[in-house]
Amino acid sequence: MTVDRGTRPARRPVRSARAPEDGLAPVDPDDTGSRPVPEATVARLAVYLRVLTTLLAEGRGTVSSEELAAAAGVNSAKLRKDLSLIGSSGVRGVGYDVSRLVAEVEATLGLTRPHAVALVGVGNLGHALAGYGGFAQRGFPVAALFDVDPALVGTTIGGVEVEHADTIPWVCAERGVTIGVVATPAPAAQQVCDHLVTAGVRSILNFAPTVLAVPAGVEVRKVDLAVEMQVLSFHVARRHGTVPAAGPTATPRQTPREAVSR
């Protein structure tokens, strides 16, 4: 995913008095509580939480840093460093308590409060997003749907009625929407974004192929599927040897003798 811009989210420090796992030096709780969590760490915490909730559903009580790191696709040293930033440490020879770690990560990610999602643009992509039940299962229920197409306004997707986009400001304010999803064509995206901001929405996920201008205090994350495909295309081409591994190949400089002889 690509991001328009971002600020480091505030977090709630969680203190732990347990002994560190794998012989790491103890983490100073006061030092941990004063450091902001880097955005790259925040993204990995979301991945750790996905793995942890699966383990919790399977009835697992503990998990080692090596197992959790492998399931999340990172090395164990990075995982332990990430978790130390939220004040969490495992028990030597035991690992991490799964249910406690889930609670700590959820608190850091702000998942202890309810979120309501508004999705604007229920064309092919928007319709698929609106019908995806995984959002509600992870604490992000779709509370409002909007479009301008008369054929779509008034229809129901996943039990939520599609309303006209002109009603975004008051419907979102009325339903306490905290996250807006923009899945409109590029020309309409900025106006939709403005409506969401007017309604008090301060977190926006943008699928439209354009950059949104927002005031300070509004977080926008941009999801450009075409860009992601192009990045993957680069890696495919590099594996096939059709692009240089380390940037463009420089044109060899000619010596004076070569230049004269040509």
Task: Name the residue with higher pLDDT: 258 or 45.
Answer: 45
Residue 254 pLDDT: 54
pLDDT tens sequence across 132-191:
887 877 889 999 999 999 999 999 999 999 999 999 999 999 999 999 999 999 999 999
Q: Where does the pLDDT of residue 227 fall: very low under 50, low under 70, confident under 90, or very high at 90 and above?
A: confident
User: Could you give all domains of the chain from N- to C-terminal order, each with its CATH number?
Assistant: 2-108 (1.10.10.10), 117-225 (3.40.50.720)
Task: Name the residue with higher pLDDT: 17 or 98.
Answer: 98
Residue 111 pLDDT: 81
Torsion sign over Cα 88, 91, 95, 100: negative
Task: Name the residue with higher pLDDT: 18 or 224.
Answer: 224
Using CA atoms, how far apart are residues 13 and 83, in angstroms rounded to an integer?
11
Percent of the chain at pLDDT > 90 equals 54
Residue 8 pLDDT: 44
CA 102 from chain center: how many Å? 17
Using CA atoms, how far apart are residues 87 and 84, in angstroms rounded to an integer?
5
pTM over 0.75: no
Beta bridge partners of 206: 182, 222
Residue 192 pLDDT: 97
Both tokens assigned to 2 = 């690509």
Residue 200 contacts residue 171 (beta carbons within 8 Å):
no
pLDDT of residue 57 exceeding 60, the answer is yes
Q: Which of 18-22, 220-224, 230-234 has the lowest mean pLDDT?
A: 18-22
Residue 169 contacts residue 195 (beta carbons within 8 Å):
yes
Q: Which amino acid is at 135?
A: F
Rounded average pLDDT over 188-200: 96
Instruction: For the chain, give the DSSP string.
Output: -EEEE--PPP-------SPPGGGPPPP-HHHHHHSPPPHHHHHHHHHHHHHHHHHHHTT--EE-HHHHHHHHTS-HHHHHHHHHTTT--PBTTTBEEHHHHHHHHHHHTTTTS---EEEE--SHHHHHHHT-THHHHTT--EEEEEE--TTTTT-EETTEEEEEGGGHHHHHHHHT--EEEE-S-HHHHHHHHHHHHHTT--EEEE-SSSPPP--TT-EEEE--HHHHHHHHHHHHHHHTTSS-TTSPPPPPPPPHHHHHH-
pLDDT of residue 210 exceeding 70, the answer is yes
Task: Name the residue with higher pLDDT: 252 or 27.
Answer: 252
Using CA atoms, how far apart are residues 124 and 192, in angstroms rounded to an integer?
18
Using CA atoms, how far apart are residues 1 and 209, in angstroms rounded to an integer?
12
The mean predicted confidence, pLDDT, of the chain is 82
Q: Which amino acid is at 45?
A: L
pLDDT tens sequence across 6-25:
444 444 444 433 333 443 33
Both tokens assigned to 196 = 């969401």
Q: Where does the pLDDT of residue 212 fall: very low under 50, low under 70, confident under 90, or very high at 90 and above?
A: very high
Residue 4 phi/psi, 5-degree rounding, is -60, -55
Residue 150 pLDDT: 96
Both tokens assigned to 136 = 């509600």
Both tokens assigned to 209 = 């192929």
